[in-house]
A = this chain, B = another copy of it.
Amino acid sequence: MKSKSLVSIDQCTKEDILRILDNARKFEANPNRKVLEGKVAATLFFEPSTRTRLSFETAVNRLGGRVVGFSDASTTSSSKGETLKDTILMVSNYVDLIIMRHHLEGAARYASEVTNIPIINAGDGANQHPSQTMLDLYSIQKTQGKLTDLTITMVGDLKYGRTVHSLIVGMSHFNPTFNFIAPNELRMPDEQKNFCDKHGIKYNEYTEFTEEIINQTDILYMTRVQRERFTDLEEYERVKNVYILKNDMLKNSRENLRILHPLPRVNEIAYDVDDNPKAYYIQQARNGLFARQAIICEVLGIPVEE
């Protein structure tokens, strides 16, 4: 990678991505390796995210490292008026690695510029969440046996969903075809569509969530319509139930289709889908452990043995 921090999936070349995914595979074969012995990671969650925090903290612990940190900034010095720069410099004094989540876009990049220790961005506002993208890529590769020439259908909130935006960038090295299915109010922004155009990536846009599209899909990437992204709650109530995946919509889908979801889900995937072997969102979350172990070793420059 260009930097020893992982701030954004954009900074990863195709080779970076393939190397990290290959290391994730090695960690899946053996997640308990003492490569972080004597090292301390800080998990600085200025905004709560239990799922991501537990995944990273387990990753560090299984590698023999130790964790300090906070899960909520409301009781930190930030609330006394301390700048992000001072907080990062202070914590950099103690630890070998900072894993941070922040509500402001650009916070992780800024942090990586003020400190000499590696920063892993665990989500900065609506911007980036590169470890999520890496586990999505790992899940795609693992279930499809390849990353190239796949049709990926993204459903739900494509406007505010940072995971779908980052996945477009991550997949851009592998000749994908995208289907974007969203209500008008939440459709894929021009920025991402321009990115596709510039990189010669094929995409189609739909407002209807139909079996016909599902049946031509390899990866069905569902997203949550997040209440907290809406300023108008009436608008939220109107659209939240429009794009729900039900099991009978899968009856003619491809054998290799797998359903992904960054989780948590609320009701956008009906519970009768859970027992379908094409449902993969729980295993996908498990892959996060291995992808994050690979990322941690990448930024710390620790080689991963077979």
Contacts and interface: CB of A to CB of B under 8 A. Distances in A.
A231 interface: no
A263 B90 contact: yes
Of the four ranges (under 10, 10 to 19, 20 to 34, 35 or more), the interface on chain A belongs to: 35 or more
A76 B49 CA distance: 7
A54 B282 contact: no
A258 to B, nearest CB: 16
A58 B266 contact: no
A68 B76 contact: no
Given A54-B91, A75-B50, A266 B68 contact: no
19 contacts: A51-B90, A58-B66, A58-B68, A58-B95, A62-B66, A70-B71, A71-B75, A80-B264, A80-B266, A81-B227, A81-B264, A81-B266, A81-B267, A82-B265, A82-B266, A86-B264, A86-B265, A89-B285, A90-B264
Q: Which 7 A-B pairs have the closest CB atoms?
A: A48-B75, A93-B286, A82-B264, A61-B66, A77-B264, A58-B94, A50-B76
Given A51-B77, A82-B263, 5 more contacts: A50-B77, A77-B264, A80-B228, A86-B263, A90-B264
